[in-house]
Amino acid sequence: MGLAKGMINGVIGSCFFLSMAWAGDYQITDQLLETSSTIIGEKIVYPGGGEAHIKSLVVVIPPGEVTKWHKHGVPLYAHVLAGTLTVDYGDRGKRVYKTGDTFMEAMDHWHRGQNDGSETVRILTVYMGGNQQAPVIPKPEQ
């Protein structure tokens, strides 16, 4: 087996391409990767020795859906694959993200997303966590 084919098989073996409900916030996601090691089994650690745990999903938000208020316990890289998403950051205002936009999401500030359009929103998300930190923290009911 060639190196490229072996790497592809390893990536496919390490990734979970399945639909799942995100209990804390998103109703529909396609999980792409959840790992704490590289493709060849090396333990991923952050500079300074912190344990890493990376999770990658495609978040799917159908037209009309509004997420719950939440914040993130880890850095979140986001890239909008399709659609237009409005994120309400409360006292920090609203921002509109469109297909092709890339951003690092707010972490320690409550926010929620809304799909006001007619096209399904699909967002590639990469949670860069570790040490058992929650990627999504739902806002407690008031």
What mean pLDDT comes out for the span 28-56?
Answer: 83
User: Which CATH topology does 3-138 take?
Assistant: Jelly Rolls (2.60.120)
Query: Which residue would you say has higher pLDDT here, 15 or 114?
Result: 114
pTM: 0.73
For 34-43, 86-95, 112-121, which range has the lowest pLDDT when averaged over its residues?
34-43
- Whether the CB-CB separation of 78 and 105 falls below 8 Å is answered with yes
Q: State how far the Cα of 133 lies from the Cα of 73, in Å rounded to an integer.
A: 6
- Whether the CB-CB separation of 92 and 109 falls below 8 Å is answered with yes
Q: State how far the Cα of 67 lies from the Cα of 72, in Å rounded to an integer.
A: 13
Where in the chain are the domains? 3-138
With a cut of 90, say whether residue 48 has pLDDT above it.
no
With a cut of 80, say whether residue 36 has pLDDT above it.
yes
- Whether the CB-CB separation of 86 and 95 falls below 8 Å is answered with yes
